[in-house]
Structures are given as C-alpha cells and as structure tokens.
C-alpha cells in the first residue's frame, strides 16, 4: 500500500488555513446566497436514492476546490480503491475491510470470498423465509450489542411499514437484567426464536443475556434448543459449545458496526423478507458503485466527508446533530453514533503518532419535530454552533392527510431559521443565524433507500477517517473498560479494595452487599 499524506501534512491544508483566516471566519450564508443565485445547484446533488443539499454550509467554491485538492493530495482515491480491492487497510488488526462485498450482486465481484458470501446469504434468507412462514413462531428476540444490535434494530424500526404482520421483534442488548427480564415477561418458550448475535461470541453482555435466556427457556420446559436458538457469528466453534446448531457465519473482514449486511441482518430479513433484504443490499450497492466510481467533485460520500473535515478542523465544531424528520428513523442517531464515533474517535494516526487536530465529532439527535420542542432552542440561540443534518422523505407511507406536509414544512423551516436567523429582533428575541445545516432527502423510506443512506454514511466516515490518517476500522478504546469491569465484578463479591483509587474504593465499598 502506498504511503499516504495525513491531512495536516498536505499543501492544501495550508491553503485551507489561509483561506479560513482571510475569508472563512467572516463567511455569511445569507450573503453567499444573495451573491450567487446558483448556490443551491452548485452545492446540491442527486446521488443514488439520496438527494443532498449542502448549500446551507459555510463553504464556497474556493473551499470546495481546496478540500478536493486536499483529498487528492492525501491519496483518498487510492485508499478507497485499496478498500474495494480487498487490501488489508485495517492495519492494526491486519484485516481487509470488505463490508461492501456483502452487498455486491452475485457474479459482480472477482473477490475470492464472493462465492462464500452468496452461499451464506442464500442459506440465511432461506432460513428467514422458513421462519416467516412458521406461524408457531410469534416472537423473535435478538440478543446482541453494538454492531450486533444497532443495525438490525435501526433497520427493523425504519422499515416497519414493510414488516409483515404476525411476528414481534425484540432487541436485548444491555447487561442490565431489566431489559431481558422485561422481554421475557412478553414471550413464551414455544413461540420464541432467540437469535444470539455476536461477531466474537465472547462479548460479556451478549453471553450473559444468552445464558440467562437459555436458562429461562429450559426452566419454562423448553427443550428444543436447535429450533429456538440460532447464532449469528464469526465464531462458529463457540456457538457450538453453547449448544446452538443453527449458525450463520460471517468473517473477520466485516467490522461489527459494518455488519448489518451480513448474517447479523437476519432479524431484518425475517422482518421484511428475502426480497426486501436483497433490496436493502442493492440500495447499498448502488451507493458503493457511486463512491467507487464517481469523480470526487460529484461524489456524495466524498463531499460529505470533506465537509465533515472542514466543519471539525476549521470551523471547530465538536458535534453534529442528526435530525431525522421521519419517526421510523428514530434509532438512526444511535446507529450513526457507533458508526462514526467508534470508527473515527481516534487520537493517533496509523503510525501511532498523536494528532494535533480534532477527529470524530459527537453525534446526537432525536426525530423531528420532537427535537424542536426540546433542544432546538440551544441550536438557534445557544452559544455553541452545532451543524444539523436533516433527513426527510418526500413521500410518506401513511395516508393521514396533511401530516406529511406539516412535517416537511417544519424541517425546511428549521433549516431556514438556523441560516437566516432574525438578528434585529432585539435582545432575547434575536436569532444570530448563519448556522449551518445539511439536508438529505429520500424519495421514500424503503429497503433500497435505507441501504443507500446507511452506505452513504459508512463511506463518508471512511473519507474523513482517511484524511485524518487514522484507522477507522479498529476499536481498541473499548478494551480498558472491559478489563476493569471484570476486575471490579470480582471485588463486588470479595469486597477487596486493595490498589483501588479512592473514588472507586468508596463506591465498591458502598455497593458491596455487606454495606
């Protein structure tokens, strides 16, 4: 793999800094629109399944040109091509990054794993159809966490209108027993399918929940584990030891947060059917082709990723608010949190050198219009500027007259208010305006458009991570807490406080049963 320049080593970085100092600080969106009647056309584009309006961001043609130069100087295209060629770009784990292969149509890829991907997909979809046809199974309980929970949960929620009636879906992720206990009060062993979803099949939360679910199943008189438990994992051997016979595998080149297209997507396939799942994959594949093939100037994941770098490193925004104006997308902010913050929440580059610039922002948000009556006050008049990403669908899937027009009007109005403000209203009524936002528009929320929307975000995270020179595909930052929790779990039994800091010792003492 050719050595790549990190963004702050590239000549265009200096150009961006100069541009920021001279023009960037004083940039005003209202003046930019007044000066350029084509601004909307220049900074918006139709990509597969997703229309994007970037024009309400604090960018101009000079910034865009410099960002594109930066991407080229940093070897973004070569890095992207290396991912699509199956090279081991996850260097800290020496793994390829091939989630895109999971949605590549049969026969379209020469990758050596393509055949295996399709035979596994066929088997999983065949199983999904059998479960759909099995009226005796009324409840599907997915037990998994992180990437083994958020993707399936987000997609099953988002595609509610495509879910055939007759089955209920439950998602248990937390080791907090309240979650599993609440689900177990709603289901019967004879009519429940437990899916144990874990890439590693070692994750504390998932294995604890899986053991408790199996214990409950047996205590209730359930005996046919083969019928009522299936595993979705790369660790088929461990699933076997657990006593599970039905296993759908995937591979180490699928990161957990990139795994909803793999066997981890089984709950989605049971919910929307094999044909629906294939549409989800095909929407994502359309976006893959766009990212892999379009020139950077008209490449939406590249344009969004570059905007993310501009917003983070020059405007200094430390957070981005996700505002889905579609209540079925209510789990999307949580999904994107893992995707972006676990991928790009890194402080050293690929060589292990500390970075002198910021990386992943905090992502957060709630569906509109609810957010408007909660935290939008801060977005409009607070002291910090937070770029907002609106996501809406042109057409609703319900027939409630008038609702959708009001929903869309509110999304547009919020974006307009953030930008235009009302600076002369006086004191407390002043809105400063000039606050940036991006608007993503789907024609309708369908399996295909959801697939494209998620793949768009995967690739935009790739772009910013690539320019920052970090490894977006590892997650060493989750390890320390796991080790310490294992130690503290022992101390909560023994009461041993030796070697603990004062605060942790005080809390362990307070939580010990003897207290």
Q: Edge-to-edge, what's the strand order for the sheet holding 319-325?
A: 44-47, 50-53, 437-444, 388-395, 319-325, 362-364
Say if residues 85 and 101 touch (Cβ distance below 8 Å): no
Residue of 206, 434, 464, 471 that binds ligand F6P (CB under 6 A): 206
Question: Which stretch, 83-91, 143-151, 280-288, 319-327, contacts ligand F6P (CB under 6 A)?
Answer: 143-151
Closest approach of Cβ 172 to ligand F6P, in Å? Answer: 13
| Contacts (CB under 6 A) with ligand F6P, residues 267-306 | none
Question: Which stretch, 66-74, 112-120, 144-152, 315-323, contacts ligand F6P (CB under 6 A)?
Answer: 144-152
DSSP H helices, 332-446, are: 332-336, 343-344, 376-381, 403-420
Find, among 116, 84, 85, the residue nearest to 288 by Cα: 84
**Residue 203 in the binding site for ligand F6P (CB under 6 A):** yes
Annotated catalytic residue, options 115, 394, 403, 482:
482
**Residue 142 in the binding site for ligand F6P (CB under 6 A):** no
**Residue 147 in the binding site for ligand F6P (CB under 6 A):** yes
**Residue 478 in the binding site for ligand F6P (CB under 6 A):** yes
β-partners of residue 388 are 321, 437
Say if residues 271 and 128 touch (Cβ distance below 8 Å): no
Closest approach of Cβ 53 to ligand F6P, in Å? Answer: 32
β-partners of residue 52 are 45, 440
Residue of 7, 89, 145, 183 that binds ligand F6P (CB under 6 A): 145
Nearer to ligand F6P, 151 or 189 (CB): 151
**Residue 15 in the binding site for ligand F6P (CB under 6 A):** no
Closest approach of Cβ 219 to ligand F6P, in Å? Answer: 25
The residue to which tokens 């584990």 are assigned: 225
Residue of 49, 142, 148, 449 that binds ligand F6P (CB under 6 A): 148
> Using CA atoms, how far apart are residues 239 and 237, in angstroms rounded to an integer?
5
Closest approach of Cβ 199 to ligand F6P, in Å? Answer: 4
**Residue 471 in the binding site for ligand F6P (CB under 6 A):** no
The residue to which tokens 């919910």 are assigned: 271
Residue of 198, 209, 337, 446 that binds ligand F6P (CB under 6 A): 198
**Residue 146 in the binding site for ligand F6P (CB under 6 A):** yes
Please report the beta strands in 198-272, taking only residues with DSSP state E, as ranges in sequence order.
Answer: 229-233, 246-249
Find, among 238, 199, 16, 216, the residue nearest to 99 by Cα: 199
Question: Which stretch, 85-93, 196-204, 354-362, 432-440, contacts ligand F6P (CB under 6 A)?
Answer: 196-204
Nearer to ligand F6P, 406 or 478 (CB): 478
Closest approach of Cβ 198 to ligand F6P, in Å? Answer: 3
The set of residues, in sequence order, having a beta carbon less than 8 Å from that of 434 and lying 6+ positions away, is 28, 29, 30, 58, 419, 421
Q: How long, in residues, is the chain?
A: 515
Phi-psi category of 427—alpha, beta or left, where left has phi over 0 and alpha has psi -120 to 50? left
- Sign of the alpha-carbon dihedral angle for 216, 217, 223, 225: negative
Number of residues binding to ligand F6P, judged by CB under 6 A: 14
Annotated catalytic residue, options 342, 366, 389, 458:
342
**Is residue 19 annotated as part of the catalytic site, yes or no?**
no
Residue of 200, 246, 420, 504 that binds ligand F6P (CB under 6 A): 200
Please report the beta strands in 118-216, taking only residues with DSSP state E, as ranges in sequence order.
Answer: 139-143, 168-172, 192-197
**Residue 475 in the binding site for ligand F6P (CB under 6 A):** yes
Nearer to ligand F6P, 16 or 145 (CB): 145
C-alpha dihedral over 432, 436, 442, 443, to 10 degrees? Answer: 50
**Is residue 115 annotated as part of the catalytic site, yes or no?**
no
**Residue 246 in the binding site for ligand F6P (CB under 6 A):** no
Write phi, then psi, for 392 (nearest 5 degrees): -140, 165
**Is residue 241 annotated as part of the catalytic site, yes or no?**
no
> Using CA atoms, how far apart are residues 241 and 235, in angstroms rounded to an integer?
10
Annotated catalytic residue, options 241, 373, 398, 515:
373
Say if residues 471 and 346 touch (Cβ distance below 8 Å): yes
Residue of 75, 222, 256, 447 that binds ligand F6P (CB under 6 A): 256
Active site residues: 342, 373, 482
Sites of contact with ligand F6P (CB under 6 A)? 145-148, 198-200, 203, 206, 256-257, 342, 475, 478
């Amino acid at each position: 793999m050719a050595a790549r320049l990190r963004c702050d080593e590239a000549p265009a970085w200096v150009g961006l800094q100069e541009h920021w100092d001279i023009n960037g600080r004083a940039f005003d969106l209202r003046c930019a629109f007044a000066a350029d009647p084509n601004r909307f056309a220049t900074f918006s584009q139709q990509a597969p399944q997703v229309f994007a309006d970037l024009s309400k961001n604090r960018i101009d043609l000079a910034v865009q040109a410099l960002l594109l130069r930066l991407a080229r100087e940093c070897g973004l295209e070569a890095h992207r091509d290396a991912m699509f060629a199956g090279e081991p770009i996850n260097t800290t784990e020496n793994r390829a990054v091939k989630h895109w292969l999971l949605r590549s149509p049969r026969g379209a890829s020469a990758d050596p794993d393509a055949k295996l991907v399709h035979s596994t997909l066929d088997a999983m979809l065949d199983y999904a159809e059998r479960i759909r046809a099995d009226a005796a199974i009324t409840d599907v309980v997915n037990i998994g966490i992180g990437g083994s929970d958020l993707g399936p949960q987000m997609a099953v929620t988002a595609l509610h209108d495509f879910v055939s009636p007759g089955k209920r879906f439950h998602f248990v992720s937390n080791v907090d027993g309240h979650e599993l206990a609440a689900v177990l009060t709603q289901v019967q062993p004879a009519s429940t399918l437990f899916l144990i979803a874990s890439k590693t099949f070692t994750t504390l939360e998932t294995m604890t929940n899986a053991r408790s679910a199996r214990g409950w199943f047996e205590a209730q008189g359930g005996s046919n584990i083969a019928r009522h438990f299936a595993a979705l994992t790369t660790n088929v051997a461990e699933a076997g030891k657990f006593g599970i016979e039905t296993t759908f595998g995937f591979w180490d080149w699928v990161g957990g947060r990139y795994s909803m297209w793999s066997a981890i997507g089984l709950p989605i396939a049971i919910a929307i059917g094999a044909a629906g799942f294939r549409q989800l994959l095909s929407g994502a594949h359309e976006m893959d082709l766009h990212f892999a093939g379009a020139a950077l100037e008209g490449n939406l994941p590249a344009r969004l990723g570059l905007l993310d770098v501009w917003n983070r490193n020059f405007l200094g925004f430390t957070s981005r608010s996700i505002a889905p104006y579609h209540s079925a997308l209510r789990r999307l902010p949580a999904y994107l949190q893992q995707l972006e913050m676990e991928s790009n929440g890194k402080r050293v580059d690929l060589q292990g050198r500390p970075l002198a610039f910021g990386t992943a922002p905090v992502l957060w948000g709630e569906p509109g219009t609810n957010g408007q009556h909660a935290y939008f006050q801060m977005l409009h008049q607070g002291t910090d500027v937070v770029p907002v990403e609106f996501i809406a669908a042109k057409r609703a899937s319900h027939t409630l007259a008038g609702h959708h027009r009001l929903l869309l009007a509110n999304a547009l109005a919020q974006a307009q208010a953030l930008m235009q403000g009302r600076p002369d209203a006086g004191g407390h009524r002043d809105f400063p305006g000039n606050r940036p936002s991006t608007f993503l528009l789907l024609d309708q929320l369908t399996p295909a458009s959801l697939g494209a929307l998620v793949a768009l975000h995967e690739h935009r995270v790739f772009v910013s991570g690539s320019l920052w020179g970090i490894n977006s595909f590892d997650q060493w930052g989750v390890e320390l807490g796991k080790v310490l929790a294992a130690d503290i779990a022992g101390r909560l039994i023994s009461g041993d406080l030796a070697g603990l800091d004062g605060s942790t010792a005080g809390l362990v003492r307070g939580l010990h049963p003897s207290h």
